[in-house]
Amino acid sequence: MTSCSSSSPLRLGIAGLGTVGAGVIRLLRANADLLSARAGRPLEVVAVSARERTRDRGVDVSALRWYDNAADLVNDPDVDVVVELIGGAEGTARALVEAALKAGKPVVTANKALLALHGSTLARLSADNNAPLLFEAAVAGGIPAIKTVREGLAADRLLRVGGILNGTCNYILTVMRETGKDFATVLKDAQDLGYAEADPSTDVDGLDAAHKLTILAGLAFGQPVAFDSVHVEGIRRIGAVDQTFARALGYRIKLLGLASISDAGLHARVTPCLVPQHAPLAQVDGVFNAVVAEGEFVGRIMIEGRGAGAGPTASAVTADLVDIARGNTIAVWGVQSSTLPPLRACPISSGEGAFYLRLMVEDRPGVIADITAILRDCGVSLRSMLQHPAENDSTPYVPLVLVTHRTSEAAMQDAVTRIDALNVVTDSTVVIRIEAA
């Protein structure tokens, strides 16, 4: 589409007036003149929808048309663009976006779960009805990750994409490393500070990062990615002792989402990783996110910033609105075809890498020999080993850390299964992949 020269306002209907929705209205009003100049026309909110009409959101919406039913925004002839900020992959959010696209109305959304699970269907609706679907805010908040991968790197063949995609997990791991506190304690502190939800499972179990990785991989490789093809692990099993060992080995622990493409297919996973402490990704701490991409010509790039919050996310939503006002839109996955099949996924067991293993073992002779014999039989070569002595004679188990050379995921899984079956090992082995990053 070419740039739009109309000076009439682009009229917006916003569904969802939570932190982000209210933030978008606040930003549009605060930067009205700047946005009008950059967009070539005013951006005007004319209608809104949310669950509680009387709730104080810190912004005045009394002059706007109010719809109790979000779907009514689609039928309002004065709404040019539907902005979906409800969230969730099903229910009202999905119904609203699909209805708007079928009606030929552009949609801007921050809904990563919706794009990750239904991106292929939405892309087809967008193409069939000539209705742009923009979602810069769905990945890494204020970081222009979507535009960077889909448009800024459009000339290159991307081989790898991902990064630190969840600020809650990054904050928890950072504080654990800096304070020596355990996971449960830091999680509670993060909830008290508002960095973690009351139910943190979507974040700490890796699902949020997996949603974002699914989107990034689809953009990077030009085809939709099936969400269930992404291997997902969270950070619940990372202990303070792992932070201590990681530091001694010269690493930092990060939850990474990484996707790569090869002749065999797609490898996509969200897992805790050991990253060399001087690597750029290792320096990204707290609630910050970082997106990395690697191409044949551009090499490796990294961008970082705040991945969530009212300000960064509202900024990304509004940037999409400016693009629509200008008439600058692009196919959902960066290619014109809306019927591309999902990328063929490779099982996690087909990958290779080096690994950190932390075991709790009985403190007696012969234990290490039994464990190393299993690794030998599975074809896993050890690079180094660390063991902390028992704190006192009453402690029956001590932590043992093994670092392997590069090996296959299948061999590593086999070895861990056999090790965990030993009667000298208590609890399941913690396995963390080592990334060069």
Active site residues: 212
- Which residue stretches of 252-398 are H helix? 310-326, 367-377
Please report the beta strands in 311-424, taking only residues with DSSP state E, as ranges in sequence order: 352-362, 382-387, 397-404, 407-408
How many other CB atoms are there within 10 angstroms of residue 75's CB atom? 11
List CB contacts of 141: < 8 A, sequence separation 6 or more.
167, 289, 305, 306, 307, 308, 309, 312, 313, 316
Tokens of 374: 């299993």
The C-alpha angle 230, 231, 237, rounded to 5 degrees, equals: 140
Q: How buried is 197 (Cβ within 10 angstroms: 0-12 exposed, 13-18 middle, 19+ buried)? A: middle
The rounded distance, in Å, linking the Cα atoms of 368 and 322 is: 62
Run of H or E including 249? helix 240-249
Sheet holding 65-67, edge to edge: 65-67, 43-49, 10-15, 81-84, 107-109, 133-134
